[in-house]
Structure 1
Amino acid sequence: MTTPEDDLLPGTRRALRHRIAVAQSEGRAPSLAAAVVRGGRAVWHGARTSVDGHAPDEDTQYRIGSITKTFTAVLVMRLRDEGVLDLGDPLEKHLPGTGAGEATIADLLAHTGGLAAESPAPWWERTPGTLRPELSDVLGEKPLRHPVGRRFHYSNPGYTVLGALVERLRGAAWEAVLQQEVLEPLRLTRTGTRPRAPHAGGWAVHPWADVLLPEPAEDLGRMAPAGQLWSTTGDLARFAAFLTEGDDRVLSAGSLREMRTPAAPQEPADVAAGYAYGLGLELRRSGERLLVGHGGSLPGFVASLTLAVDDDVAAVVLANCTSGVPVAAVGADLVRIVADAEPRIPEPWRPLREVDPSVLELAGPWYWGTQGFGLRLTADGFASLEPLSGSGRRSRFRPNGDGTWTGLEGYYAGELLRPVRRDDGSVDHLDLGSFVFTRQPYDEQSAVPGGVDQEGWRGIERRP
């Protein structure tokens, strides 16, 4: 009988064990648990502990801090997909009187709402949520620190507001909505707002001595949508698979792609670090690899959820220490170990089942001025336009059913590609957002804006 771990080669499993052993030892974590996901399921679990015989397993709960924000973002996106709200709606439309109502729903999801990073004192992570019973206690008298929509500024109160928005529009507590709409459909039975045994205790490790101090595990109250949840490597592995593939009972793959798309203006330091933020998800560059996910921390705990969608590999790392373990870096390393040692095997190439001759006519080389592009039809029914030289603008296009196509990414995202035909039905040129693509460079037989010199192409004239 095989187990999921048998899917990985022995050398890969040893490299994963070595990486988390180094992380737990050098980070001086009382315990560390990790998992790797591939093909939609966990294929490896590992743990290290300072207490012999008490290693955590995939069922042991840890606090996951701000990974909670991704769960809250999923709830908001569900409301959008149902037509209950639009991401461009100002908060004031649905939740009036906050003092932050100019910010849109998208602003709050992307941390561009201009709100403060933290709630007013006392430090909310180490004090009872009962000290902040109302939104006004979370936002303070002057909620804004920056002009709305102008810059990325990570805001915990912003996600508290989104949780309150969910409550207002669903008519139920955030916790109850989360349970019914996300946790139950995805079978995340060990994820919740309060710890249930077995669970790890949170510890602070002295920076200059190998001694411990227990951290309080406060109920965050109103701040719960920003960081309350407890979970396990087993549950977060299933959540990672969902974030990669989607589940129509919860959220479509298309809406999750939207969440994984950068949505916030980057600061210069973020550009240099290869960091961006989508709608409830962080995006980072690790070498040539794009990683998506979220980190989390609360006193006594650090957590990381990391996805490399193109490699079909994800990693979860949980530790019960306030600081010391670079969980984001560890997660990136676990992904790299698997993706490099056992790269994803591509699906078999398969031809299109059928093709419309008028669509097939579009395939092949086209020229924007003198720059060459190739238009290729793919088995998924989409088209791709790529520069022949290897550099330049490129995009995939989806058919609209009326002979036109809409760009999906890059410069041409949302732009319309329209074949323009002659009287005899043949294609004269492609119109892409007003740019004209012809079969030959500045084809004199096509409708090139500004016309083509009547003398045509020529060499350099020699003068006597």
Structure 2
Amino acid sequence: MTSPAGLRALLTGICLLACIGSARAQASLDAMVTAEAKEAGFPALAAAVVSKGKLMAVGTGGTRRVGTSIPVTHQDRFHIGSDTKAMTALLAAMMVESGKLQWDSTLAQVFPELAAGMDAGVSRVTLSQLLSHTSGFPSDNEDFDVLLAKAVRQPGNLNEQRYWMLQQVATKPLAREPGTGFAYSNLGYTLVGAMIERVGEKSWEELIFERVFKPLKLTSAGLGPQATLGRMDAPLGHTLVDGKLKPMLGGPEADNPLVISPAGTAHMSVLDFARWGSWMAGQGKRAPFLVKPETMKKLVTPVVSMSAASTSSTTVAGAAQYALGWASTKMAWTAYPVAFHGGSNNMNKAYIWVDTERDASIVVMTNVATPNTDDVMQKLAGKLYARYVATVK
């Protein structure tokens, strides 16, 4: 019989072997992303690759604030901007599966008290049209900026401000007939948030935490600026002013107004972002089973061509098609189209690629949005895809 001391030694040995095996299986990208960040002039950079439910590689590098040496860790929160849209689409899908909404539910049906005064086009706008940017609402413009500035001054909670925004646009003609073309609209996703709030009987914020962040164990996930007010506890976003990077401290100017959170104000660590990508790539293969596999497929199945569309958003620039919260295109480094999205509040940028055929995902995040950001991040993703995804059978 093994003595207690011998048993402890045996268990310790088994633990050490397991830990070593895990370390070998998960490659470090720290040196790689640190070098990429330095060459590109980014304050910080993070990247991760997941394949078949396993974390293949992860890395962070740089500093939380330009001009300082505050190391960025794998647990640091980065802003993901419009990558939040896919999570809002998932939340909408849950409402559809529960029977509280239908993909073709219209604004008039969800808000019957406003129906009589709605513009005829607006009254016919459906949930799926809002999610695919084919609602007929225009891309973000000066009118939207004015509306947003007024919305944040309205009394009440964020859900009440979103309802106020709906009231303001409901009576005005659309830019085009619903369902006839693509126009990237943060207003559209804000209205999706309002629809979810009406049938979910809670704010979008409460629902995204309860129904998405918590079950997926995205423990670092939050909303708004990734750094706490007055603290350097996350990589600060940066803007370019007179050719120099300016760090944006936590506060109202460090992110877009929270009223448009359904369109893009989430933040999380590179590890949690990769966890989200892995879950989506599995298409229902892995818990938690929040929606049916066919619903997950619907979310990434293209709805509209973007080839002739103009959009003010650089986060989906170059996409061939748009699905529901996801764009789709063949990258220079893929043999077929993959789901992807970018997110930015013009101070941070994050990209996610989801290859459902290979059950793999790549995420790249940074705390700056300069003219070279897209090119650097997409080239890095290409290197990671070739090394960790394309060669996996």
User: What TM-score do you get using the length of structure 1 for normalisation?
Assistant: 0.65
1:204 to 226, 239, 246: 239
Match of 1:191 in 2: 221
SS of residue in 1 equivalent to 2:301: coil
- Counterpart AA for 1:263: V
CA distance in 2, matches of 1:148, 1:68: 23
1:107-256 to 2 correspondence within 5 Å?
A: 107-118=129-140, 121=143, 123=145, 130-131=152-153, 133-137=161-165, 140=169, 142=172, 144-194=174-224, 195=226, 198-206=233-241, 209-212=243-246, 214=248, 216-218=253-255, 220-245=257-282, 246=284, 247-256=287-296
Match of 1:40 in 2: 53
Any conservation in 1 of the 2:40–2:376 contact (CA below 8 Å)? no
Percent identical: 23
- Counterpart AA for 1:33: A
SS of residue in 2 equivalent to 1:36: strand
Note closer, same or farther for the CA distance 1:200–1:258 as it changes in structure 2 (3 Å cut).
same
**Offset of residue 35 of structure 1:** 1.4
Note closer, same or farther for the CA distance 1:239–1:174 as it changes in structure 2 (3 Å cut).
same
1:279 to 324, 327, 345: 324
Deviations 1:387-410 (A, max 9, x none): xxxxxxxxxxxxxxxxxxxxxxxx
- Counterpart AA for 2:20: T
Give the helix-richer structure, 1 or 2: 2
Any conservation in 2 of the 1:202–1:217 contact (CA below 8 Å)? yes
* Larger mean Cα displacement after TM superposition, 25-34 or 160-169: 25-34
> Is it true that 1:291 corresponds to 2:338 in the alignment?
yes
Note closer, same or farther for the CA distance 1:321–1:169 as it changes in structure 2 (3 Å cut).
same
Note closer, same or farther for the CA distance 1:213–1:192 as it changes in structure 2 (3 Å cut).
closer
CA distance in 2, matches of 1:128, 1:58: 38
* Bigger Rg, which one: 1
Any conservation in 1 of the 2:352–2:362 contact (CA below 8 Å)? yes
CA distance in 2, matches of 1:23, 1:124: 39
**Offset of residue 217 of structure 1:** 1.8
**Offset of residue 3 of structure 1:** 5.8
Match of 1:78 in 2: 94
CA distance in 2, matches of 1:315, 1:146: 36
Match of 2:81 in 1: 65
CA distance in 2, matches of 1:325, 1:137: 35
**Offset of residue 116 of structure 1:** 2.0
Deviations 1:38-72 (A, max 9, x none): 22132222122156652222211122111111110
1:317-356 to 2 correspondence within 5 Å?
A: 317-327=364-374, 330-331=377-378, 333-334=380-381, 336-340=383-387, 343=390, 345-346=392-393
Unpaired segments ≥5 residues, structure 1: 347-464
CA distance in 1, matches of 2:204, 2:195: 9
- Counterpart AA for 1:40: G
* Larger mean Cα displacement after TM superposition, 162-171 or 191-200: 191-200
Deviations 1:68-117 (A, max 9, x none): 11110001011111222221222211134365221111111111001122
CA distance in 1, matches of 2:125, 2:259: 19
SS of residue in 1 equivalent to 2:89: helix
Give the strand-richer structure, 1 or 2: 1
Any conservation in 2 of the 1:37–1:314 contact (CA below 8 Å)? yes
SS of residue in 1 equivalent to 2:205: helix
Match of 2:7 in 1: none
**Offset of residue 187 of structure 1:** 0.6
CA distance in 1, matches of 2:176, 2:321: 18
Note closer, same or farther for the CA distance 1:344–1:8 as it changes in structure 2 (3 Å cut).
farther
Deviations 1:214-237 (A, max 9, x none): 372246232111112121111111
- Counterpart AA for 2:346: P
SS of residue in 2 equivalent to 1:131: coil
Any conservation in 2 of the 1:129–1:221 contact (CA below 8 Å)? no
Deviations 1:398-431 (A, max 9, x none): xxxxxxxxxxxxxxxxxxxxxxxxxxxxxxxxxx
Any conservation in 2 of the 1:38–1:312 contact (CA below 8 Å)? yes
> Is it true that 1:266 corresponds to 2:306 in the alignment?
yes
Deviations 1:230-286 (A, max 9, x none): 21111111111111123454223221111111012434368x955211111111211
- Counterpart AA for 1:225: P
Aligned residues: 339
Any conservation in 2 of the 1:27–1:324 contact (CA below 8 Å)? no
* Larger mean Cα displacement after TM superposition, 231-240 or 248-257: 248-257
SS of residue in 1 equivalent to 2:280: helix
1:433-444 to 2 correspondence within 5 Å?
A: none
User: What TM-score do you get using the length of structure 2 for normalisation?
Assistant: 0.76
Match of 1:2 in 2: 20
Which structure ranks higher in relative contact order (CA pairs < 8 Å, sequence separation ≥ 6)? Answer: 2
- Counterpart AA for 1:131: R
CA distance in 2, matches of 1:127, 1:213: 23
CA distance in 1, matches of 2:174, 2:221: 32
Any conservation in 2 of the 1:306–1:328 contact (CA below 8 Å)? no
